[in-house]
Chain A
Amino acid sequence: MNKPLPTHNLSIYVANRPGALARIAQTFSRRGFNIESLVVSAGVTGDFSRMTITAKGDAAGLEQIIMQCSKLVDVLACREHTDEEVVARELALVKLAVDSARRGEVLQIADHFHAKTVDLSETSIVLEATGSSEKLDAMVDLLRKFRIIEIVRTGKVIMARGERET
C-alpha cells in the first residue's frame, strides 16, 4: 500500500503580473502535484501578491518545485514552512439544513468551536468558523450528522512566527 503523501505549506511572494499565477500552477501540475488549496491576496503593496499553497506530494518533488518556482522571473521568494513555524488560519462557512427542533444541538457544537451564526432561517443556518484547518475539519466532521447543504472554505493562510519571513 502507498504511504499517504505528506501535506506541505508553501508561501510564495510574487510580483503582481499577468500570468504569474498560471506559471506557478504549471510548475505544480507538471510534476503531478495536486494543489489542495491556493490563496492569493495582495501583499504589503499592490505591486506584490502573496500566495499560500498547500499541496500533497513527496519531499524530493517538493524541493524541485520550490526551486523551479523560485526561478520564475516574477517570484521574489518561495518557502516551505512546517506547521510549528507558522500561525495558520482558515475560515469556513457551513450551511446546514436544520429546523428549530435541532438548532440547539448545532449551536452547541458551534459554541464549542467558537463559530458564529451569520445567517439564520426557518430551515437553515450558516456558521462561520475560523482557526486551524484541523480544527475546522473536526467541526465539519461533527456537523455531518446534520444535513450539510454547502461548505465554503478559504484555504489555509500562514504567517511565519516572530522575526522569520513568511
Chain B
Amino acid sequence: MSLLPVTISVDTAVAAERAPRRLARLALPALALVLPVSLAILWELLVDLGVSDGRLVPPPSTILATLSELAATGELSRHAGATVLRVAAGFGLGVAAGTLLGALTGYYALLRRLVDPTLQALRAIPSIAWIPLFILWLGIFETSKVALIAVGVFFPVYLGVMGAIASVDRKIVEVGRVFRLSGPAMVRRILLPAVLPAYVVALRSGLGLGWMFVVAAEFMGASEGLGYLLVDGQQLGKPAQIVAAILAFAVLGKLTDTLIHLLAAPFLRWEDAFGAKR
C-alpha cells in the first residue's frame, strides 16, 4: 500500500523529466525556421499593405500559387524529372569514374605518380570552361550536359577516394596481412570498410556539385528542366517562376543528399568520431 504512491511519484518524476526533453528535441530544429518564416510573413504583410508592389520580389503567396499552378499542369514534374535524370546520369558516370580512378591511384603509388598530376591540372580548370568544348564535341543535347555534370561529380569523388585509400592506417592493413588476406579480400574486408565514411562524404560533395552543374548545363540551352524554368522566367520577367524553380532545386538537393545519408547510415553505425552521434 505504502509502496504504490512511491512508484507512481517516481514514474511521474521520470515522465516529467522526459517531457521537456522530448519538447526540446522537437523545438530545437524548429528554431531554425524562426528566421525564414518570420521574414516571409513580414514580406507578405509589406506587400499586402502596399508598401511594396512585390513585382520583382514576389511575396510567398504568389510563389506558392505559381508552384501549385506548375504542379497542376504537370509542368513542374516534367521539368524536375528532366533535371533529375540528367543529374542521375552525370552523377552515376562521375561516381563510377571517380571511384575507379581514385581507388587505383590510392592503391598503386606508381599509378598515382603517373596519373594524379594530370588530373590535378585538369581539376584546376573551372569546369564551366569545358562547356564550349563539350558542345563542339558532343552536340548541344543531352550528352554534353551529362558530360559536364559527370566532370563536376568526378573530381570530389576521385580526390576523396584516393585520399581515403592512401591514408588507411597501416596498422589496420597489417591486421589483414597477418591473416593472409588476398588482394581482393584485403580490398573488401579492410580497405572498403575503412574508407566508407570518407566515401560517403565524397559522394555527398559530388552530388552537391552535380546539382550545381546541372544548372550550368541547362543554361547552355535546354527545352526542359528546372534550369530552363530559370532562364524562361528571366526572359519573360516571371520572378515567381524563378523562385519556384529555386525552391524545387533546394528541395531536390536536400532530398537526394538525405537519401545518400540514410542509405549509408546502417553501414556507418560503428563510427567513433567527434560528431558521428549528432
Do chains A and B stick together as partners? no
Residues of A in contact with B (beta carbons under 8 Å apart)? none
Write the residues of chain B forming the contact surface with A, with a CB cutoff of 8 angstroms. none
